[in-house]
Amino acid sequence: MTHALGFAEKDLRRMAGARSFERGVGYLSAVSRLEIGDETITATVDGTDAYEVELAEREDGGLTGWCDCPYGREGNFCKHCVAVGLTVLRQAESVPRQRAAAASRTRLLDTWLESRTREELLVLVREQLSEDRDLRRRLELRAATAGEDTGIARERILSLLDTRPFARYGYVEYADAHAYGQQAAEAVTALRAMTSSGRSADAVKVAREALQALGRTYGEIDDSDGLIGEVATGLAEAHLEACLSARPDPVETAEWLVHHLLDEENDATDIDLFDYREALGEPGMIRARELVVAAWRANPKGWPEKFLMERLLKADGSSVDALVAVHAADLAPNGHTHLVIAKELEAAGRAAEALKWAERGLREAESDWGPDDELVTFVCERYARADRLAGVVAIRRDLLQARPSLAAYQHLRTAARAANAWEGSERAGALEVLKAAAQPKDGRWYGASVLVDALMDDADLEAAWQAAADGYADQRQWLALADRIRDKKPADALTVYLCWIEPLRKQTGDSTYERMAELLLNARSCHRTLGTEAEFATYLASLRADQKRKRKLMATLDLHGL
């Protein structure tokens, strides 16, 4: 690696993106403990917390950055990395000298260590162990995995997965999950060390316990960053590696695997039974199939049983009918399972049967659940391809009647227009459905009716205004209508704004004051269009006099020029 910097400001901007780059510029003064080494650059950046940053230049001239802030741990080149990179660029001339000094210090340390006797090095290590608990724990683990006493290694590995030291309230919160994940990751390293040192049979047994231990506690950890999930995956991979090395009894291994996969507490890992084909061999796979089939037959509605059975059939290349039978044993009330079956059949070239299953799903969907949206789309798309447009309209009409909503109305409108059947009876019937679904009520603040939203969506503002006047609109809809008609019917819009200003006089709070200012601005706009600005000035003066004790309201009105 050359001593000259291999990156420029444009590279930092490209890697971070414009937003993070600009935010990084604001953190230049927060960079401390900057160390420019021969291969890496490290620093601390003070933000919400004190974050550790490391930059490294790749041999191909690129740059990598790591930060232990939440955004950085997701693999992003964050604002803290930008701040460190910019700080280094601002002292680029001194970088070669600093790197040369770092390399010299490394050589000096290596020479000094090599000159120490074994006894002197032991004294040095022991001094460090007495001061650094993390180092002591890591070396204790290495000693345990390298020794002959499996019990000690097992105890240390399982202790690394113990959440209790991190669960202040019986739950590992997000702030503590990273530290726990770093500790738990050492268990993966230890298991792999056992396998590589020739103790793979022991590693198999300990890995099983480790997987079960993490499975029991995973639901009590805030793993928003996915770090613990990575540990779980690592444990599963370490177990498979140990099995491939030790070749434990295939039948017993199959029994453990199937039992593990059927246990809903063990869903933290994505273990795939068929990754173990080589370790299980034919005897183990035969036993695994027997257990999966038996479990599914005993509980065909169980999610793990159903998933494993489906995986088994697909891996074995079984017929689509066998897969259909598995799904048909537990049909979801919203028709989603019918859709899964339909897709399997369609993929097998059996389109007619697929459509029949999908249509059956629409018929059998329970009223409280309603049909799955994707299932409805599946049927409608296939009807449309077959030019069965009236059928699409009928489906959309039934759905609107069953569960009136703006989305259902819009879908029916689209379908009916495609069939040239919207204007006239189809639209009138749809509006009657929406009208019947709501109860008119004057002065409602909440409880908007779909009727008014649908009429506004149709841009039929006259009808929407009439529906609102008949009691089908809440505050939100009244104000939306006023905004839509303000330019052409300012007097009507003004009536709405003034109506909803009045109740706010009796309320307090920043959001109330902002809302009042917004309504007053709209009212002023109406008065300007009407040429009655003097009338608005009189109204505003009266309101300010009435509300003068609300100093924050007065300040808000001043801020908006009212």
- Give dist(CA 228, CA 225) in Å, integer: 8
- Which residue pairs from 528-532 have beta carbons closer than 8 angstroms and sit at least 24 positions apart in sequence? 529/486, 529/487, 529/490, 530/490, 530/491, 530/494
What's residue 341's pLDDT? 94
What's residue 442's pLDDT? 65
Residues contacting residue 290 through CB under 8 Å, at least 6 positions apart: none
Residue 209: name the closest of 270, 162, 142 by CA: 162
What's residue 4's pLDDT? 62
What's residue 3's pLDDT? 43
- Give dist(CA 224, CA 320) in Å, integer: 38
What's residue 445's pLDDT? 63
> Which residue positions in the chain have pLDDT lower than 50?
1-3
- Give dist(CA 6, CA 326) in Å, integer: 58
Q: Looking up tokens 């044993």, which residue turns up?
A: 329
What's residue 2's pLDDT? 41
Residue 288: name the closest of 279, 234, 204 by CA: 279
What's residue 508's pLDDT? 86
What's residue 540's pLDDT? 92
Q: pLDDT (tens digit, 9 = 90+) per residue, 61-90?
A: 678 888 988 888 777 899 999 999 999 999
DSSP state of 168: T
- Give dist(CA 553, CA 510) in Å, integer: 8
